[in-house]
Amino acid sequence: MSANESTFDPLQPHSHEPNPAPPSDDPTIRLVTVNGRASKITVTNLQKLPKISIPDCYIVSTGHGTSGPFLFGGVTLLDFINSYAKGGWTEVEVISEDGFGNRVYKEELLEPSQAGAILLAYEIDEQALTREQGLVRLIVPSERDDALRQVKWVSEIRLKRP
Ligand SMILES: Nc1nc2c(c(=O)[nH]1)N[C@H]1C(S)=C(S)[C@@H](COP(=O)(O)O)O[C@H]1N2
Ligand SMILES: [Mo]
């Protein structure tokens, strides 16, 4: 195995062809805590948590150019985790059923960038995200790298410790 292979992390941004179509019709999100316990989360559950809106978000798409600015609305990933899980985690994997995903580190959540906090968004421009648009979408406002962190159709959130 080369050094490159041993450090390859499929959940870190790397070039990728965007998938335009939802992988499934199942809108539930599976939350897996550090001890392996799984629970099912719905959009309705997310809507009950404090809502944050972040303006001026762009999706710098490889497929069809830059779109935006959008106003994304949802719950911060940190508020979501804190309301459903205990501590002990240091990073979180946010994964879609189509295999696309992203690794987010606790430090990124505790110290959000100036662009805004990392969000589990369920609204775009004050309308519910359609299944086509991602339904629940990870929004990383600081990301400008071909939307490689803007995970559509979030279906699993896994908390990890080293
Ligand atoms: N689940 C999932 N999310 C994804 C992708 C994907 O293939 N699957 N592609 C990413 C890439 S590379 C791009 S460019 C954007 C495209 O988002 P858009 O369709 O809203 O423009 O989604 C990102 N999120
Ligand atoms: Mo992309």
Q: Could you write out the DSSP letters of every residue in 59-101? A: EEETTTEEEEEEEEEEEEHHHHHHHH--S--SEEEEEETTS-E
Tokens of 50: 């404090």
CA of 62 relative to ligand 2 center, distance in Å: 4
Q: Within 10 A of 91 (CB to CB), how many other CB atoms are there? A: 17
Say what the pLDDT of residue 1 is: 47
Tokens of 121: 């968004």
**Mean model confidence pLDDT for the chain:** 93
32-46: per-residue pLDDT in tens?
Answer: 999 999 999 999 999
83-138: per-residue pLDDT in tens?
Answer: 999 999 999 999 999 999 999 999 999 999 999 999 999 999 999 999 999 999 99
* Cβ < 5 A residues, ion ligand 2: 18, 62, 146-147
Tokens of 128: 């519910």
Ligand 1 atom, smallest distance to 63 CA: 14
CA of 108 relative to ligand 1 center, distance in Å: 21
User: What value does the CA radius of gyration of the chain take, rounded to a whole number of Å?
Assistant: 15
